[in-house]
Structure 1
Amino acid sequence: MTQTTPVARFALAAALAFTAAPLAAQETDADDPYIWLEEIQGERALAKVDQWNADTEAVLTAQPEYPLAKAWAKQILDDTRQIAMPDAIMGDQVTNLWRDADNPRGLWRIASLDSYMAGAPEWRVLIDVDRLGEEEGESWIWHGADCLAPEYTRCLISLSPGGTDADVVREFDIGTGAFVESGFTLPEAKSNVAWFDRDTLFVGTDEGAGSLTDSGYPRLVKLWQRGTEFAEARQIAEGEQTDISMNGFSILDGDTRWRFVRRGPSFWTSQYSLAREDGTLAPLPLPEDAEFEAVLGGQVIAKLNSAFETPRGVAQPGTLLAWSLEDVLRGSDPDPVVVFRPSETQAIEEVAASENKLWVKVLDDVSGKLIALTPGAEGWAARAMDLPANSTLQIAETSGEGDTAFVTVENMLTPPTLYAVPSEGQPVAIASEPAQFDADKFTFEQKFATSKDGTKVPYYLVRPKGAEGPLPTLIHAYGGFRAAQTPKYLTAEPYRSGPLGLFWVESGNAYVLANIRGGGEYGPRWHEDALRDKRQNSFDDFHAVADDLVANRLASPGRIAASGRSNGGVLVGAVANQRPDLYGAIISGSPLIDMKRYNKLLAGASWMAEYGNPDVPEDWAFMRAWSPYQNMRDGPDVPAAFYYLSTLDDRVHPGHARKAAAKHEAYGQTFYYHEYREGGHSVGSDHEEDAKRAALLLAYLNREIGSGAE
């Protein structure tokens, strides 16, 4: 591999200029010569970032495909023929956040549900986010609205300055179309806020020392009455300093408002309580590792992640159970009822309630299916809905009144279509995105690789039709946090890289989505097989997919790119270190990389149940084997990495990518780097930046593993 970028060209001189210690094992902070890059807004750190950005852009923007790809990406992202997805169904109205070339930050707007379902919504703009930012001198990014049912007149609006996870919360009146004067307002913080009733909020926020957990999230839950100072809010619950977070929330079930408080001792455990009108709490009997899914007909529905003993026998992981909330209020111990049992090849991915139905999205060998469940005297009756097979389904919203689910259906070659799915009758397509390419030019299939321990690992493959022999191949995966990766239209793959997948296959190459362990593709077992000391299974699965492509003459060693984002940064960093013979390029977005210090950086402490605690010697013993940062090594034969991230990411610290880049530079290795100053963990704050990133990544892939690569 040649050192062709300016980033690499001056690597040795730069390394001599700022390396303070030898690049040894770096097992302690004192051993790490690049810890100064963790100073997020540090002058020295940002100067280095600016240099890397400039060097990378100087090379990649000069590539002939860059301006064409950027313009095409912007056109796709700004296409006004996109689906106006429902943010919320509020009685007989629907809201949507609309972004296009004229409104890069978005228009939050409302229309009647009838006009929306007829395919001709009559929108009224409630908040112009771009104009609001200009008027207030803030770079506002929309983070959502929570409108109080059943009137839906008052909403809590969350706005982020620059895209961080921290929000400003302000009360808004839909009737007047304005923020409420002297209404509820919270300053910028990682707050947990929800309606208790019209004049009371559940609030957890940053109140100074002792109010946040070690992970940086609220430790206290308070009830804040309208017209009072927040200092007078009454505390009703508190967690431990070592917890992840605490929050309160409410759900309207028919005419009954059920209120809950959740304590999160770890990332994968929760303790739920039912909050009475006076704020006192009654514990719910859910297992700590169960996932709270919905409330319907006075029952709380949860998904099991481990076997659970019931009076009718043992319920297996992945099963939906229901408990009576009235029994909880009476102080009795309710017997849970089985709602739905997935098969061996199935996993429950989404659950949503409408007025009388429970809607369940199931993955069956990673293909989406939608099931409507109805409670009755003889149990829960199931009806599978008639939607296109071999597709990715997503429940966008359900109607609060009536029983209709709004569901998108797509796959890599088929653009999204939004269906209104009634509980009785047939689904009706109400909006579709236009095709952005000729799908007949490509083949789309699901294949299975065999991992090191014999596990069958599914993956999706797109190639030009009629292509023979190995092609340069981009493999994207995630492999963590129970997050299943399902095939979406190529203009949206891989995640946060816009239409990069489309550009890649249109150039005559192959794109793969790998369903490795750590995700939720096959339920709890698929996730647990990659937890903590089992993490290597996730990396072995990824290698198995790459090896399977090579064995079947679909790809060649060295012409394979590994792509991952966030947790996927751990994945691609590990596989690059372990099998540099296989991979010629690494795309690492908003990545976790230094697993020795991750729990000390921003929200990292909240993920120790997933990875392990590096401060515990027994945990570090297994983490050390795969931590990307600690396993980087000197030498020319390593994949050329591209790191993209945001300075304002307050979830995964930008120091991870910065320190990895510094090591590459010191080793004289080729790498590319693009740190955007806004955008938070999602990186891009507008379509202009998303289009630029897609074009940069295409130019990078062409240079490193494309047909013209050296």
Structure 2
Amino acid sequence: MTDPRLWLEDSNDVALEWVKERTERTLDSYRGNRFDAKRSAIFDILSAKDKLDLGTLRGDYVYNFHTDADHPRGLWRRTTLESYLDEPEWDVLLDIDSLGQEEGESWVFGGANLRRPLFDRALITLKPGGSDANVVREFDLDTRTFITDGFEAPASKGSMSWMRRDSDAVLIARDFGAGTLTDSGYPRSVRLWRRGTDIDDAPTILEGEREDILVSASHDFTPGYERTFAVRAKDFRDTVVYEVDHDTLELKEILLPHSAGVGTIRDWAVVELRYDWELKGETFPAGSLLALPYEDALTGPVPERIVKIFTPTPQASLAGMTEIQSGVVFTTLDNVRSRVYFASIDTWEVTELHPELGEFDSIGVGAVDREKGDAVWVTTTGFLTPTTLLYGTASKDGLDVTTVRSTPERFDADGMVVDQRWAVSADGTRVPYFLVGSRQALRGEHPARCLLDGYGGFEVSRTPGYLGTYGKAWLEDGGVYVLANIRGGGEFGPAWHQAALTKNRKRAYEDFAAVARDLVATGVTTVPQLAAIGGSNGGLLIGNMYTTYPELFGALVTRVPLLDMKRFSHLLAGASWMDEYGNPDTDDWDFLQRYSPYHNVAEDGEYPPILVMTSTKDDRVHPGHARKFTALLEELGHNVEYYENIEGGHAGAADAEQSALSLALIFEFLNRRLAEGPRAEEKPASADCVR
């Protein structure tokens, strides 16, 4: 059957007029003093000059990208490490607002790749309106100008990065013309482009198939261990890695599982397994972190020479890893609570480190310069704990770090607490979730308005982080925020993700529904006071709450969502997600149609009010998903409101002003649609914060 709303996938005048009419109608209905005050308060947080500016050390300087009210599109700048650790005196290299005005383009900064070892040139990535498609240009740090006749790549999805030290060559993966993109819209090949030559004459390093996700390449600049790698990603869990010969460009395959994440540290290969690895009679379990001699990765791994750095348990999974000169520092989640370890490259002996950290706070560790020493950046954050940056060293003796600075407190957390609880899903699986709000509400003494958040896909873990804007706009008004760690995510490693793939996708939705029921059963909230929110894959989650569990919610918000699971693989990057969801053009449609929200709305169904939000510039999840779903609900007479931002790409907003407007719209929608809960003045005068 032909989709009667297919025309809304177009970006012609007719479709955009439909978008404009509904977006303006939604905004007009919310404009007023309360909405303006909410938007202003959120904007002040997002555009503050005193935000925590994280930096990256390259050579003698720490580089940073900063936005504030005066520079909404931002400043790329640098300072010395000594200055950064004290009171930074920033030297502005590039003003994106000024550049956009000069060129008549709505540029969004996409990062800078500096040339080693002089760090005199940079490849600057610029995104029109915040789209995934980007322009890359070569920039001179001495003159602070783009280089005429320098390396430049026109708008396309893809990347460009330097190859080798003192090099006048780049690794470039772009749209090179007809047939050079995959079905997902990403580069199908990567080339070596030398200065002064035509891009069409650049030799191809690696070319994949049209059905692949993408092909890319990168260079490891570690002195004495420089290597170039080319990568062919067949899907999200099938990636072939090759070492590239610098002179001949010949490829030598890395003989490790294609499903694994592979890195190098000096003469070792470091491997993160996504599936069990059977090797000559020995099994290395999924979720393990392993090390083996790099030469074995090229000639064939030997079980006896493989070191087990981390082996997962049903409760503990690998969260992150950074390589420093003397080894690796890695973090784990143990029942979604952060722990930190160090493994020495000399012996691979593992030592647990014990940083000062609140019970429910998260920690991240990153190398300052993996080529030079064991210095690390450490960031800590929690729902009620402002993000803090620390600097120091990591070793088997611990994290020897000192505080650099913290994010200022953005909301009044007095009387608020954090807790972790478990709901029981339909198949008996225990599903954890975090709650943030007043002690009274969490105890069930005074049911409150509650906002339930979740994602549940692509092995993405959702962990505690400072609730600056949500704290100001939601918690201060007496609301409760809940984060559900449902299956499909990575909180308990690969198995937690794989449990909700393709035909088992419903488990993620059953998990989320179980958390919603638990919140009501424990008295934290009531159905008329309970809302849920999610974006992208999380937007698909919300679509399924709407069609399958409408009786559990008082209101729903879906952002940049997937909603039409019959068409998703034919739209933009959708073909790359079939390993996650299934292929709707095969028998997979038998199960896909059961969780395709667009195909499960009943004319006589009773549904909660829903706010649908997307971006015209989203070139990852097509805005047609949101448009067609909204049109269907309108035709059937259901309560739906629609907002489409012209810019922003998949982020939904290109700057602080756009983000503030969309967030204010969300919170005012919830204020209107949910039953009343306790207001801010009803909070107890004081209470200890549970972390």
- Give the TM-score normalised by the residue count of structure 2: 0.93
Given that 1:310 and 1:336 are in contact with CA atoms closer than 8 Å, whether structure 2 keeps it comes out as no
Matches of 1:624 and 1:146, distance apart in 2:
43
Letter in structure 1 aligned against 2:582: G
CA distance in 2, matches of 1:45, 1:555: 40
Whole-Å Cα distance in 2 between the matches of residues 333 and 69 of structure 1? Answer: 58
Counterpart residue identity of residue 476, structure 1: D
Cα offset for 1:332? 5.4
**What's the CA shift for 1:471?**
1.7
Q: What is the distance in 2 between the residues matched to 1:285 and 1:338?
A: 18
Aligned partners of 2:74 and 2:97 also within 8 Å: yes
Measured at CA, do residues 306 and 284 of structure 1 come closer, stay the same or move farther in structure 2, by a change above 3 Å? same
Give SS of 2:658's match: helix
The match for 2:437 is 463
> Structure 1 333/522 Cα, relative in aligned 2: closer, same or farther at 3 Å?
closer
Mapped partners of 2:317, 2:677: distance in 1: 42
1:317 corresponds to? 286
Per-residue CA distance 1:368-425 (angstroms, 9 max, x = gap): 223222112x434334141313212234553232212212211111111011141145
Matched, 1:73 2:28: no
Structure 1 counterpart of 2:458, from 471, 478, 481: 481
Residue 148 to residue 357, structure 1, CA distance change in 2 (3 Å): farther
Q: Using a 3 Å threshold, how does the CA distance of structure 1 residues 708 and 114 change in structure 2: closer, same or farther? A: closer
Which residue is 2:116 aligned to?
149
Output the amino acid matched with 2:76: W
CA-to-aligned-CA distance 1:440-496 (integer Å, 9 cap, x gap) = 2212111111111111111110122334232221100000001101121111xxxxx
Structure 2 Cα separation of the partners of residues 536 and 502 of structure 1: 34
Once residues 89 and 371 of structure 1 are traced to their aligned partners in structure 2, the CA distance between those partners, rounded to angstroms, is 23
Aligned to 1:620: 589
Q: Is the 8 A contact 1:253 1:295 kept in 2?
A: no
Cα separation, 2, equivalents of 1:184 and 1:312:
50
Residue 328 of structure 1: CA displacement?
Answer: 4.9
**2:219 corresponding residue in structure 1:** 250
> Partner of 1:648: helix, strand, or coil?
coil
Say if 2:103 is the partner of 1:136: yes
Aligned partner of 2:237 among 268, 281, 290: 268
For 1:425-574, what aligned pairs fall within 5 Å after superposition? 426-467=400-441, 468-491=445-468, 499-574=469-544
**Tell me, what secondary structure is at the counterpart of 1:76?**
helix
Cα distance in 2 between the residues matched to 1:704 and 1:529: 34
Q: 1:327 to 1:226 in 2, by over 3 A?
A: farther
Matches within 5 A, 1:92-491: 92-117=60-85, 119-197=86-164, 198-278=167-247, 279-292=249-262, 294-310=263-279, 313-328=282-297, 331=299, 333=301, 335-376=305-346, 378-389=347-358, 390-395=360-365, 398-400=368-370, 401-424=372-395, 426-467=400-441, 468-491=445-468
- Distance in 2 (CA, whole Å) between partners of 1:141 and 1:651 is 16
Structure 2 counterpart SS, 1:256: coil
CA distance in 2, matches of 1:196, 1:419: 32
SS at match of 1:458: strand
User: What is the CA distance between 1:435 and its match in structure 2?
Assistant: 1.0
Amino acid at match of 2:327: K
Following the alignment from structure 2 to structure 1, what is the Cα–Cα distance between the partners of residues 432 and 301? 42
How far is 1:312 from its partner?
Answer: 8.5
Which residue identity is paired with 2:384? L
Flag the 1:347–1:702 CA change in 2: closer, same or farther, 3 A: same
Deviations 1:474-533 (A, max 9, x none): 100000001101121111xxxxxxx13541221112110111010110100110011001
Between the aligned partners of 2:563 and 2:246, the Cα distance in structure 1 is 46
Distance 2:356 2:95 in 1: 35
Q: What does 1:675-690 align with in structure 2 at a 5 Å threshold?
A: 675-690=644-659
Identity between Structure 1 and Structure 2 (%): 39
- The aligned residue for residue 608 of structure 2 is 639
User: In the alignment, residue 676 of structure 2 is paired with which amino acid?
Assistant: S
Q: Is the 8 A contact 1:297 1:356 kept in 2?
A: no
Which residue does 2:682 correspond to in 1?
none
**TM-score, normalising length: structure 1:** 0.91
Contact kept? 1:296, 1:356, Cα under 8 Å: no
Cα RMSD between the aligned structures? 1.8
Equivalent residue letter for 1:438: D
SS of structure 2 residue aligned to 1:632: coil
**Structure 1: where are the runs of 5+ without partners?**
1-27, 492-498
SS in 1 for 2:528: coil
Partner of 1:207: helix, strand, or coil? coil
8 Å contact kept, 1:500–1:695: no
Deviation per residue, 1:230-273 (Å, 9 max, x gap):
01100121111111100111112243211101001112210001
**Residue in structure 2 matched with residue 25 of structure 1 by the alignment:** none
Could you tell me how far apart the structure 2 residues matched to 1:372 and 1:708 are? 46
Q: How far did 1:649 drift?
A: 0.4
CA contact (8 A) 1:566 1:592 kept: yes
| Structure 2 CA distance for partners of 1:333 and 1:446, relative to 1, 3 Å | closer
- How far does residue 291 in structure 1 lie from its aligned partner after superposition? 1.4
Q: Which residue of 1 aligns with 2:618?
A: 649
The aligned amino acid for 1:114 is E
What amino acid is aligned across from residue 162 of structure 2 in structure 1?
Answer: W
> Greater RCO between the two (CA within 8 Å, min separation 6)?
1
Partner residue of 1:696?
665
Give the Cα separation in 2 of the matches to 1:642 and 1:460. 24
Pick which of 261-270 and 343-352 moved more: 343-352
Matched residue type, 1:169: V
Separation (CA, whole Å) in 2 of partners of 1:328 and 1:149: 27
**Residues 502 and 347 from structure 1, CA distance in 2 versus in 1: closer, same or farther, beyond 3 angstroms?**
farther
One-letter identity of the residue aligned with 1:572: I
2: distance between equivalents of 1:387 and 1:546?
33
Whether the 8 Å contact between 1:482 and 1:524 is mirrored in structure 2 is yes
Check the 8 A contact 1:387/1:427 in 2, yes or no.
no
Matched AA of 2:459: R
2:364 is paired with a residue whose SS is: strand
Q: Deviations over 1:217-241 (max 9, x none)?
A: 1111211111111011001211111
Contact 2:362 2:464 in 1 (8 A): yes
* Inter-CA distance 466–559: structure 2 relative to 1 (3 Å threshold): closer
Aligned partners of 1:306, 1:148: CA distance in 2, in Å?
Answer: 36
Superposition deviation, residue 301 in structure 1:
1.2
How far off is 1:635 after superposition? 3.2
**Preserved CA contact (<8 Å) 1:372 1:385:** no
Given that 2:478 and 2:677 are in contact with CA atoms closer than 8 Å, whether structure 1 keeps it comes out as: no
Q: Partners in 2 of 1:393 and 1:414 — Cα distance?
A: 12
Q: Residue 465 of structure 1 aligns to which amino acid in structure 2?
A: R
